[in-house]
């Protein structure tokens, strides 16, 4: 059963690499914000899977809740800042 | 009960993979935001529901459901704020990356 959870963890990490490609490559700043949002959603799921693997769901769920709230604050601040400033054209 | 949880997790992983392919392949910010928010929410729903069912019906089930509700509250807010900022700063949908 733990090999299945190892498979799930590996898949989520590979998906996070895909989103990281979008963050590094993304043509506009909004692509980078969206990629970071996707990475943080995967990280929330990843933390709960880690908690299930190690039988400590009660602790890891609290960590993932904090991660979700921090992600909300950061993404909203960046979006608000870019909305005021506008996209820089290169 | 654990097999039901594993089936739900596999379905959720499928949706997450589809969302990642959309994030790689789609042409502009708006379609990428569509791919990210919709399929990501559904994939997280299935994976977390599968984990909750796998844990069994105790307090951990309720904790995972709370995280799930938090994702469903916050993910559309972030996608909406980002797309609104992109639209207000001059990008328009349907034209690709090079406008």
Short-list A13, A67, A83, CA closest to A33: A83
Residues A65, A89: Cα–Cα separation, whole Å = 36
Q: Which of B37, B18, B41 is nearest to B29 (CA)?
A: B37
Inform me whether the pLDDT recorded for A90 exceeds 50.
no
Residue of A7, A14, A29, A31 to mutate for B, most B C-beta atoms under 10 A? A31
The answer as to whether A90 is a domain residue is no
Instruction: Indicate whether A57 pLDDT > 50.
Output: yes
Is the Cβ of B75 closer than 8 Å to some Cβ of chain A?
yes
**A5, pLDDT greater than 60:** yes
Which domain does A41 fall in, by range? Answer: 2-85
The Cα–Cα gap between B25 and A48 comes to 29
Contact A68, A40 (CB under 8 A): yes
ipTM of the complex: 0.86
Give the helix ranges, DSSP H, for B1-99. 2-25, 29-55, 59-88
User: Does the pTM of the predicted model rise above 0.90?
Assistant: no
- Does any domain span residue A42? yes
Instruction: State the total domains in chain A.
Output: 1
Mean pLDDT computed over A25-53: 89
- Domain boundary assignment for chain B: 2-88
Block means of pLDDT (10 residues each) for chain B, 99 residues, are 87 92 87 87 91 86 89 90 86 68
Judged by CB atoms closer than 8 Å, whether chains meet at A15 and B60 is answered as no
- Provide the pLDDT for residue B99: 46
């Amino acid at each position: 059963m733990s090999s299945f959870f190892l498979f799930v963890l590996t898949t989520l990490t590979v998906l996070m690499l895909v989103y990281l490609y979008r963050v590094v490559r993304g043509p506009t700043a909004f692509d980078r914000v969206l990629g970071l949002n996707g990475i943080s959603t995967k990280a929330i799921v990843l933390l709960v899977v880690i908690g299930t693997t190690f039988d400590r769901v009660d602790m890891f769920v609290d960590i993932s809740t904090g991660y979700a709230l921090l992600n909300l604050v950061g993404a909203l601040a960046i979006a608000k800042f870019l909305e005021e400033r506008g996209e820089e054209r290169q | 009960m654990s097999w039901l949880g594993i089936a739900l997790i596999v379905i959720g992983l499928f949706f997450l993979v589809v969302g990642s392919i959309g994030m790689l392949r789609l042409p502009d910010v708006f379609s990428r935001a569509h791919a990210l928010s919709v399929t990501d929410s559904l994939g997280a729903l299935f994976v977390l529901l599968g984990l909750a069912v796998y844990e069994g019906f105790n307090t951990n089930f309720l904790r995972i459901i709370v995280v799930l509700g938090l994702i469903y509250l916050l993910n559309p807010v972030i996608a909406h704020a980002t797309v609104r900022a992109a639209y207000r700063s001059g990008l328009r949908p349907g034209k690709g990356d090079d406008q």
